Amino acid sequence: MNTRFPHLFSPLRVKGILLKNRIMSAPNMLFHTVDGRPTEYYAPYLEHKARGGAGIVNLGEVSVGDGGNHVPEMKKTHDNLPLFAELSAAIHEHGALASAELTHGGLKIRPEYNTRRAMGPVAAETAPGVFAEAMTKEMMEEVCRQYADTAEYVLWAGFDTVLLHFGHGWLPAQFLSPIVNTRTDEFGGSLENRMRFPLMILRAVRERVGPKQPVMARVSGSERTEGGFTVEDTICFLEKAQEYIDLVEVSVEGLQNNMTATFRPLGINTDLSEAIKRDGRVKIPVYTVGAVLYPEQAEEIIASGKADGVSMSRALIADPYFPEKAFAGREEDITPCIRCLGCCDSDNLTRHMICSVNPLIGREARLGFGEDVSRAKHTKRVLVIGGGPAGMTAAVTAARRGHEVTLWEKSGRLGGLLNFTDADSLKHDLRRYKDFLIAQTEKAGVRIVLDKTATASEAAALAPDDIVLAAGSKPIEPRFIPGWENARHALSVYRDSASVGERIVIVGGGLVGVETGLHLRNLGRDVTVLEMEDEYARDGGFGYKYGLQYTVREKQLRVITGARCREIRRDAVVYEKNGVSVTLPCDCVYYAVGMRSEDGLYEELAPLGIRITAAGDCKKPGKVSGAVHSGFFAAMDIGRF
């Protein structure tokens, strides 16, 4: 028994199957199929989770019938059965149980990806020109058969269980919601009526798979909205549902509630799972999902009786080996999730999956598994210039591959631009990741030289075989604005908080400007952010931006879009909006109008004839994902010849 996390690593028996621990790899969206067939990315991705030690690994988003919402869905045909079987086999090979999440979009069905129109408890226009029809009892019975067919199919393919998705606004949740379900027949109105169709689905699945087959469900513990269903309603539903299911995973309804960006608390749904557990009417195991990121946090949740287990999505994307490392007492080596939601955005879904802090996730078919970074064919002497996230990632990766690595950092500490997180009131996850990178750099045996300004002559004297230039970036000064010298860059807020006034204007409404504004609001300052475009935080992905905008409203940060700054004075900013000039009094002005690469050293180093790779902001200013990925792949390319 693991002595640090005994509850987390205790086994659990669920209707004849034994879970080796209380960690479930939650289903997540993988948008990479071709003509409805799983590609070569799927099996290694799932295997990665199983190798990492999770007790259950879920395949996400298997659509029921024509109930798909996300593209592209996997088609459950006879020809595809061997491909599904490979997915379950990849999970089984490492001692985990294989599960598939079954979803039906209902009102959210995307007509461009399905042969039938959307449907739900009521008729509605779900998008401009897209109309959903109210389901008849015959339609409900058809969907029940489709649920049973889909469950039978994935079990036939070797999966141990299914996770029926009854939350997050999918079809069953639409019927459970008194806000959405306004029917006046036997399927609407009272809770008893609203749960009638969801219970029909569960009954149909149970009758098809038999009494001995484990079946799980994901539910939303509450709508957390006035007039919506409550946790008491969920308990009443589960009291009846447990006749058909053997384990329940508790999430929450509503995008604003389950979009757990870095601004939201950890364990945001544990109050719901705890309420269900404390009530006593629900006898089956209860798992919680939502911002469970650390083993000590997961242990406390289970030990205190808030849940019987934890379901993790992004924590196991950032580091699939989370369970194995925690069990081995190496929790300091677990790569922290920074809750940037990049895995949900993934370059507008044009790629399979992207994790800001784990370049290998989703790339296993091409690159192998995270803890198995191969040693280089030829050992090299490597110089890394810059100790920010790109430089540290390059240094650690190169050292692990067997190279002799020296890192030069011009300041007195590692961390680069991420050092602002030490003083930030919001970016706790990013600060933890920054500290993790520093610790890993020191642990990897990298020779670290601080207060070292790199020059071409000194680099030549070191005689490296390869140089990774990760010199970072510097703020663009808004010299095009009269009086710009009266302002300072937004990041100076974190270095000199004592000089920050009470009334503050920030020129530039990208992520840096808005996040700095939120930090200052946390400190009680009156803050206005001016953005010249019609939308702020345009450089953020959908998921992260949604959480950011929700927090802007919550913190009452004033953001004025379509505002072009015309002049910066010592005590005011003049901006123009809709052709009207406005003078805004203030105590301090900050700007965040972009960054410029510090790449000048590249041209100085080039005549040395040493192989040079630019990484991070030095290559292209961007977010943490660009720094980490470019640093990683720069190191992976060293030593091939």
Identify the CATH class of 12-292.
alpha beta
Q: How many CB atoms lie within 10 A of CB 496?
A: 10
Write out pLDDT tens, residues 491-533. 999 998 778 999 999 999 999 999 999 999 999 999 999 999 9
For residues 427 and 575, the answer to whether their CB atoms sit within 8 Å is: no
Element (H, E) at 399: helix 389-400
User: Cα 199 vs. chain centroid, distance in angstroms?
Assistant: 31
Radius of gyration of the CA atoms of the chain, in A: 26
Same fold, 376-474+599-636 and 484-593: no
Helix (H, G, I), strand (E, B) or coil at 2: coil
Rounded to 10°, the helix 42-51/81-92 angle is 20
pLDDT at 348: 47
Q: How many CB atoms lie within 10 A of CB 82?
A: 10
Residues of the chain with pLDDT under 50: 347-348
pLDDT at 3: 78
**Measured between alpha carbons, how far is 590 from 41 in angstroms, rounded to an integer?**
45
CB-side exposure of 354: number of CA atoms within 13 Å? 18
pLDDT at 65: 84
**Measured between alpha carbons, how far is 300 from 288 in angstroms, rounded to an integer?**
12
Residue with tokens 């950011």: 548
For residues 71 and 77, the answer to whether their CB atoms sit within 8 Å is: no
Residue with tokens 């009417």: 281
What token pair was written down for 94?
């490492």
Assess if CATH 1.10.520.20 describes domain 484-593.
no
Q: Which fold has domain 376-474+599-636?
A: Rossmann fold (3.40.50)
**Measured between alpha carbons, how far is 22 from 19 in angstroms, rounded to an integer?**
7
DSSP 527: E
Separation of first and last alpha carbons in the chain: 46
User: What contacts 186, CB < 8 A, 6 or more positions away?
Assistant: 193, 196
pLDDT at 127: 79
Domain ranges of the chain: 12-292, 376-474+599-636, 484-593
pLDDT at 32: 62
Element (H, E) at 202: helix 196-209
Element (H, E) at 511: helix 511-522
